[in-house]
Structures are given as C-alpha cells and as structure tokens.
A and B are shown apart, each in its own frame.
Chain A
Amino acid sequence: SQQGEEDPQALSIQEGENATMNCSYKTSINNLQWYRQNSGRGLVHLILIRSNEREKHSGRLRVTLDTSKKSSSLLITASRAADTASYFCATEPLRGANSKLTFGKGITLSVRP
C-alpha cells in the first residue's frame, strides 16, 4: 500500500496564485521529499525535509512537516504556467534499509495563463 497519500488529486489555479498540496503518511519517517514530473518525463527532486525539521524553503517552494499529524504540505507561491506538472511526495522510512522511498499517487497541478 502507498505510504504517502497526496491531497487533492488535482488542482487548477490561475497564474500568479499560490498552490498548496498536502501529503499524509502512515509510519515514522527519516525524511519526506517532493518531486515534480512534467508530462512524458522522469521525476525531478524538488526539496527534502528531515523529520527533525518543521519548515524549509527553496525559491518559490515552501515545505512544512508535522510529524505528530504525519503530514506535509508543499506551497508554490506566485505560480507560473511552467509549474503545470504532477507532484509526488515520497517518504524514507525511519527504520528502513537501503534508501528506499515510497511514493504517493501524485497531484496534477494545472496553472492557467
């Protein structure tokens, strides 16, 4: 079964608006990562947040992590048409071996020009 579950499944916004995507997970984690996938391409790593961190920023991206609620959110500020893609959260388990990640099913973000 999937460890990470993203919410919503699909999101459509206007260019310039902020996009917020959520991820929930079930077991204790070492870190949580967000990836982007453009249509027909491989996934690209966006940002990683460790279990002892609560918030992290990278450019227009802001990630938060609440380990008590086992949830994370990804905020993209001032969205652009080029942000249109699928976004996945992935978790690395706390006691897992060999650097395995478990991915969610993804969120489809559409940014209208």
Chain B
Amino acid sequence: DAGITQSPRHKVTETGTPVTLRCHQTENHRYMYWYRQDPGHGLRLIHYSYGVKDTDKGEVSDGYSVSRSKTEDFLLTLESATSSQTSVYFCAISSGTGANEQFFGPGTRLTVL
C-alpha cells in the first residue's frame, strides 16, 4: 500500500447524509480509480480519472460523483448515502504506461445505516 492512502479507513453514517472519501497518492501516477467490493460481486469500477479534471464513469457510477483537482488526490462523493452503498471502497492508481498494473490502497469500510 506504499504510496497510496485512503481516508477515512472506517465510517458509519446515516442514510441521506453526504459522504466524501479521499484517495491520496505520492507516486505521481496519471490514472486513479475508485472501486467498490461486495460479496458475490467482486470488484466493480465506480469512476476513474485519466488526468487532473478528467474523469469518467465506470460500471456502477449511479449515486456517486468524483473530483480530481490535483494529480495526487481523487475524491469520491456520495451525495446522499443509501444502505445499498454500504461496501468496502478501494482506490487504485496506475501509471498508464508499460504494464498498466494497478496499485491499491488499503480500503475504506463504509456502513450506511
């Protein structure tokens, strides 16, 4: 997990409240990704970024928005959290060159009551 951190690591919130998760990298990688991991579904892409202010939707983007104002930070926002958004959220980064392997953060466990 070196070079990529997520905050908070755990969060419990109420339905209807806004939530922002932060991903921070020190690798200067171009690409950043947000995934959610749920039992029976594996890892699913929510949103990704291919540069500062350049973002696009993934497979399960409804109810989520993202922002990337700096290379090192990628924010995931749940405007109005729902119980179906209870999940473990992972941020990943990749350089976009060569092998294109992704490096993952430690994850954020979010519970929406």
Contacts and interface: CB of A to CB of B under 8 A. Distances in A.
Interface residues of B, number: 28
Interface of A: 2, 31, 33, 40-45, 48, 88, 90, 92, 98-106
A47 to B, nearest CB: 9
Given A41-B107, A42-B90, A43-B90, A92 B42 contact: no
B95 to A, nearest CB: 9
B2 to A, nearest CB: 11
A103 B100 contact: no
Contacts of A90: 102
Given A48-B101, A105-B40, 5 more contacts: A42-B104, A44-B104, A48-B99, A103-B43, A103-B44
A99 B42 contact: no
A41 B33 CA distance: 17
Contacts of A106: 42-43
B79 interface: no
B42 A2 contact: yes
Contacts of B105: 42
Contact of B42 (A33, A45, A98, A103): A103
Nearest to B107: A42
